[in-house]
Amino acid sequence: MGAAYCRAESENGDRIEDPSEDALFMLIDDLNDSDNTFVVIQPDEEDPPSWCTSVTVLDAGGYEVVRRDSTRRERDVATETSIDQIARGLTIWMAARDFPGHPTQNSSDFSNGA
């Protein structure tokens, strides 16, 4: 198996390399408001990451989702209540990121060959 492109780490020390949508769902579902309040997902690189995202439990219920990508000058903060929607949205968002040592995708990569 090759090197990981990204990793998800929760406050309690759980770590998953190249997390799937289901793995993200499980990490977020395990969050609580006492000792496991956040999950951070970022490229598996030593330098400061070009992008990252985090999910944090809110005191009033729900989750704060932060997405940052310095290469695209993106920063988005949203409040969500559905773990399923968060995991799906993060999976889609991460698929569009650049990964070190991984070819950059563009829209022509998805042509149907016609």
In tens, the pLDDT along 61-77 reads: 999 999 999 988 999 99
Structure tokens at 96: 């569009």
Percent of the chain at pLDDT above 70? 81
**Per residue in 69-108, pLDDT tens?**
998 899 999 999 999 999 999 999 998 886 555 544 444 4
The pLDDT-based confidence of 44 (bands split at 50, 70, 90) is: confident
pTM for the full model? 0.81
Lowest mean pLDDT among 11-20, 29-38, 44-53: 44-53
Distance CA 60, CA 62 (A): 7
Q: Which residue has the tokens 């042509």?
A: 111
Lowest mean pLDDT among 13-17, 32-36, 80-84, 96-100: 96-100
Specify the 3-state DSSP secondary structure of 78: strand
Greatest CA separation for the chain:
54
